[in-house]
Amino acid sequence: MAERRRKVAKGAGGDQPRAIRQSLLILLLGQLVFLFSPAFGVREVHVSGLSRLEAREVIERTGIQTGDSIWLVSSQDVKDRLTSIALVERAQIRKRLPREVRVSLLERSPVAITFLQKRWWGVDHCGFILYPFDSYRPDLPVLLLDPSQIPESSRIGSPSALVLLRSLRKLSDTFSEPVLRYEVSSKGELSLFTEDRIWVRMGMGEDLAEKMAILPSLLAAARQRKTKVAYIDLRFKNAPVLRIGDETRQ
186-200 residue pLDDT tens? 999 999 999 999 999
Q: What is the largest CA-CA distance in the chain?
A: 125
Q: Give me the CATH topology for the region 38-107.
A: Ubiquitin-like (UB roll) (3.10.20)
Task: Output the pLDDT for position 250.
Answer: 52
Ordered by start, the domain boundaries in the chain are: 38-107, 112-244
* 8 Å CB contact between 88 and 82: yes
Sheet strand arrangement including 241-244? 143-145, 179-184, 190-194, 199-203, 229-233, 241-244
128-183 residue pLDDT tens? 999 999 999 999 999 999 988 887 778 898 999 999 999 998 888 888 899 999 99
- Indicate the range of 8-22, 42-56, 61-75, 125-139 predicted with least confidence: 8-22
What CATH number matches the domain at 112-244, 1.10.3470, 3.30.450, 1.20.120, 3.40.50? 3.40.50
Task: Output the pLDDT for position 147.
Answer: 86
**In whole angstroms, what is the distance from residue 122 CA to residue 128 CA?**
8
**In whole angstroms, what is the distance from residue 239 CA to residue 216 CA?**
15
User: Burial of 91 by CB count in 10 Å (0-12 exposed, 13-18 middle, 19+ buried)?
Assistant: buried
pLDDT higher than 60, residue 118:
yes
Task: Output the pLDDT for position 201.
Answer: 96
Cross-strand pairs, 242: 232
Task: Give how far Cα 19 sits from Cα of 14, 22, 33, 220, Å.
Answer: 9, 5, 21, 90
User: Where is 199: in which H helix or E strand?
Assistant: strand 199-203
Q: What is the mean pLDDT of residues 223-247?
A: 87
Q: Which long-range contacts (CB under 8 A, 24 or more apart) does 246-249 make?
A: 248/197, 248/199, 249/191, 249/193, 249/199
For 215-231, give one letter per residue: b (16+ CB within 10 A) or e: beebbeebeeeeeebbb
Task: Output the pLDDT for position 6.
Answer: 54
The structure's pTM equals 0.77
**In whole angstroms, what is the distance from residue 137 CA to residue 147 CA?**
22
Task: Output the pLDDT for position 126.
Answer: 94
